[in-house]
Chains A and B, each alone.
Chain A
Amino acid sequence: MSIALEHVNYVYSPGTAYEKQALKDVSFEIEQGQFVGIIGHTGSGKSTLIQHLNGLVKATSGRILYEGQNIYDEGYDMRKLRSQVGLVFQYPEYQLFEADVLSDVCFGPKNQGLSPEECEARAKEALEMVGFPEKYYRQSPFELSGGQKRRAAIAGILAMRPKVLVLDEPTAGLDPKGRDEILDQVEYLHKETGMTVILVSHSMEDIARYVERIIVMNHGEKMLDGSPREVFSHYKELEKVGLAAPQVTYVMHDLKRRGFDVLPDATTIEEAADEIMKSFEKTRSSK
């Protein structure tokens, strides 16, 4: 139960002036149930990469294995793949089209060939999962606030009950409250259902707080792959490619440099607070 990429290359508009190699020899494997973050600067190939995972973009060369099966094999059921690997695009609210929220969320399950009752049950379940208030179920999706639209759109994917959820910048353009709510709900889903979650983000803080593994993309290549601590310990290299470590990592490195007895690899505020408290305790007991 995993997704594996083997030497995937992708070239945009080959043979024209617009030709561009978007992915270069990318290989990795994601186990079922992992919470993975993908980071990279704009144009590093993140969005192209995740569109490979459900077969929307076909690699120029290389293989993609979902649960051990090559998705480019002849006769492979792409629609089944797409319902198992749910992909939430950037600004997903722009895909809403139905007259009311509930029927919009039903679109996915309907395409899976479920009965209308089953569709509605799934849609309600999905809307509940993302914390969408019930009183708006029958409203037009175009009359909602930005955050609610985003929830409705994410529910549209969740209603298909995917085993893998891929989110491309799910918090772009949301206020801090909306951002935290959406990410907390994604984390809750991950814990409750054991769903694999792949999160593409620009925010190092968000990534450090939620994921257990980070893949760093740079100019179409995989640059780093490891736990947040490992990846963010390379913060100097990350800066060179236009990324950074979470703010708190910098604070910890600064403290260390000024003679405090702390381990500088904390990536979240909680970890950093623990580390600083430990350091205080040590100095107190040694006095």
Chain B
Amino acid sequence: MIRDITIGQYYPAQSRIHRLDPRVKIVCTLLFLVSLFIQNSLLGYVVATVFLGCVIRLSKVPLKFIVKGLKPVVILLLFTVVMNLFLTRGGNTLVHFWIFTITESGLRTSVLMAVRLIYLVMGSSIMTFTTSPNGLTDGMESLLHPLNRLNVPVHEVAMMMSIALRFIPILLEETDKIMKAQMARGADFESGNIIQRAKAMIPILVPLFVSAFRRANDLAMAMESRCYHGGEGRTKMKPLKYKAGDIRAYIFTVLYVVMMFAVGRFVPFRLWIF
């Protein structure tokens, strides 16, 4: 049921990608996301697909698992596709039906936009699948360290982020449990109109909030009893250090970005309207 939501989860496995320094993964993911926007050609998407495919393969995370992570964005995806398909004007008209018109550039934009969005989600979920929440925040903190000079509370933000990430699966599990408990009392979440369904959520949301506050309280207590007082003077048990594999990963990603850039600009290759 609700446990099927996989976005933002960690998938434990032994792989080269899992072993990479979290900073590498964060920077490379950002580069990948940017690379999707610096070009808009068919060949560019082919390059991106190959790159993403290689990374997924190396990460040993089953493709099925990653695809499942797309579920929550399906609605956004459909919305974008439909909007682009019918509202973009330009090029020859392909289909005309009552007030709906599909043009070549409409089709083109909507297809490419859909692929782009899917790759955005897949690319970033590869990062969360292969990096433990702790690793992720460690990397974030170390990358954002320079901001400390501007009086940005980097450590605190990183800590809040890691707690938020860590709580996603816990709260999902909790939701599942509460839903089941209310279903055992005859609650029905599947039928009825929108208002009835929204009302049916109250028996889930109230206990969920109560439990979230209780957990937050417990966690704060546990942290304080271990003398946590923020990032000042705090040392790390495992300080982050770049290894040879990390450098290789950087080089590989930079090469990919350069290729994306070049392909989009200098290789004229068109297939029909794409």
Contact = CB atoms under 8 A, between A and B. Distances in A.
Interface residues of B, number: 24
A107 B186 CA distance: 8
B62 A107 contact: no
Contacts of A277: none
B186 A79 contact: yes
A157 B184 contact: yes
B180 A94 contact: no
Given A17-B11, A17-B12, A94-B210, A51 B186 contact: no
A97 B185 contact: no
Nearest to B174: A94
B210 A142 contact: yes
**Highest count of chain B CB atoms <10 Å: which of A89, A112, A142:** A89
Interface in A151-166: 156-157, 160
Interface of A: 13, 15-17, 51, 54, 56, 79, 82-83, 86-89, 92, 94-97, 107-108, 111-112, 142, 156-157, 160
Interface string B169-193: 0000000011011111111100000
B181 A108 contact: no
Given A112-B186, A142-B210, A94 B62 contact: no
Nearest to B180: A56
Contact of A89 (B177, B187, B202): B177
B207 A97 contact: yes
A17 B13 CA distance: 8
B62 A82 contact: no
Given A13-B3, A16-B65, A111-B187, A95 B182 contact: yes
A257 to B, nearest CB: 46
B188 A111 contact: yes
Contacts of B13: 17
B149 interface: no
Given A82-B186, A97-B207, A111-B186, A92 B3 contact: no
A96 B182 CA distance: 9
A-B pairs, top 10 by smallest CB distance, nearest first, are A111-B186, A97-B206, A95-B181, A108-B185, A87-B184, A89-B181, A97-B203, A56-B180, A97-B207, A94-B207
Contacts of A96: 207
B64 interface: yes
Contact of B185 (A15, A16, A95, A142): A95
Contacts of B207: 94-97
Nearest to A83: B186
Interface of B: 3, 11-13, 62, 64-65, 177-178, 180-188, 202-203, 206-207, 210-211
A160 B202 contact: no
Nearest to A57: B180
13 contacts: A16-B65, A17-B12, A54-B184, A94-B178, A94-B181, A94-B211, A95-B181, A95-B207, A96-B207, A97-B206, A107-B203, A108-B185, A108-B186
Main secondary structure of the interface of B (DSSP, over half): helix
Contacts of B182: 95, 107
Contact of A15 (B64, B180, B210): B64
A160 B64 contact: no
Contact of B183 (A82, A88, A156, A157): A82
A89 B180 contact: yes
Nearest to A156: B185
Contacts of A16: 62, 64-65
Contacts of A82: 183-186
Contacts of B65: 16
A111 B184 CA distance: 10
Given A94-B207, A107-B182, 11 more contacts: A16-B64, A16-B65, A51-B180, A54-B184, A82-B185, A86-B184, A88-B184, A89-B181, A107-B187, A112-B186, A160-B186
Contacts of A92: 181
A97 B202 contact: yes
**Highest count of chain B CB atoms <10 Å: which of A82, A83, A111, A142:** A111
A111 B185 contact: yes
A131 to B, nearest CB: 20
Contacts of A13: 3
Contacts of A87: 184
Nearest to A54: B184
Contacts of A95: 178, 181-182, 185, 203, 207
Nearest to A96: B207
Contacts of A86: 184
A116 to B, nearest CB: 16
Contacts of B12: 17
Contacts of B202: 97
Contacts of B188: 79, 111
A51 B185 CA distance: 13
B151 to A, nearest CB: 40
**Highest count of chain A CB atoms <10 Å: which of B177, B178, B184:** B184
A111 B182 CA distance: 10
B70 to A, nearest CB: 16
**Highest count of chain A CB atoms <10 Å: which of B12, B64, B177:** B177
Given A95-B178, A107-B203, A56 B184 contact: yes
